[in-house]
Amino acid sequence: MLDIEVAPRTALDYTGIVLVGVALAALIGMGLFGSIVGFVQTLDFANANAVVVLAGALLGAASALYLIVELGERLNRRTILAVCVLAGMFSFFAGTKGIPAAWTLLSGTPIAVTFVVTDYSWSKSCRDRLIAVAEGYEPMSYCARGLEPLPNIGDALEVRGMATDWGIVMSQVGTGQRW
């Protein structure tokens, strides 16, 4: 057996643990915000931001791994993998949705964009999930449960909200006939 002596932690070690923990908490918080808020990216922003978002996701996963190494006693491999994947996923959401949505809410201008319904999809949480597209924006997936009448494929859907060059935060979605 190999005996390894572990040196006591210094103030620098604790500072690193706290800073990485705060950064990871911020990434996870912005990721949760991004997964909740209705933000639709512009295509230009999505294309330009792809590498940065991937780097942010890897940074979130690496931060989680660092904290596990520093603080975790004995965790099994599946737990470590799950924590790192979740941290990476929420860090990805922070870069694609959370941070841009927060910036758009702070500095955006009110706008109305017309999307066209192209398809319907089904999910467990929403039976009437529509897919709509608008020029310059990524395809939008929206639960149409509250829209009456339910728009048909090819119908226009008006989205109102705050917008920047990064995208639009949806505040109202309607068919134009009824808000």
**34's tokens:** 């991004």
Q: What is the mean pLDDT of the chain?
A: 87
Instruction: Determine the pLDDT at residue 177.
Output: 57
- Which of 14-19's residues contact partners 24+ apart within 8 Å by CB, and which partners? 16/70, 17/67, 17/70, 17/71
- Taking the C-alpha atoms of residue 131 and residue 120, their distance in angstroms, rounded to an integer, is 6
Q: Find the mean pLDDT for residues 4-15.
A: 79
CA 28 to mean position of chain CA atoms: 9
pLDDT over threshold 80, residue 72: no
Instruction: Determine the pLDDT at residue 168.
Output: 94
What residue type is assigned to position 132 of the chain? A
- Taking the C-alpha atoms of residue 62 and residue 56, their distance in angstroms, rounded to an integer, is 10
Tens of pLDDT, residues 131-164: 999 999 999 988 888 777 788 899 999 999 999 9
Q: What is the CATH number of domain 109-174?
A: 2.40.50
Global pTM exceeds 0.85: no
- Taking the C-alpha atoms of residue 63 and residue 71, their distance in angstroms, rounded to an integer, is 12
Instruction: Determine the pLDDT at residue 57.
Output: 92
Question: Looking at the chain, which residues constitute the CATH 2.40.50 domain(s)?
Answer: 109-174
> What secondary structure letter does DSSP report for 10?
-
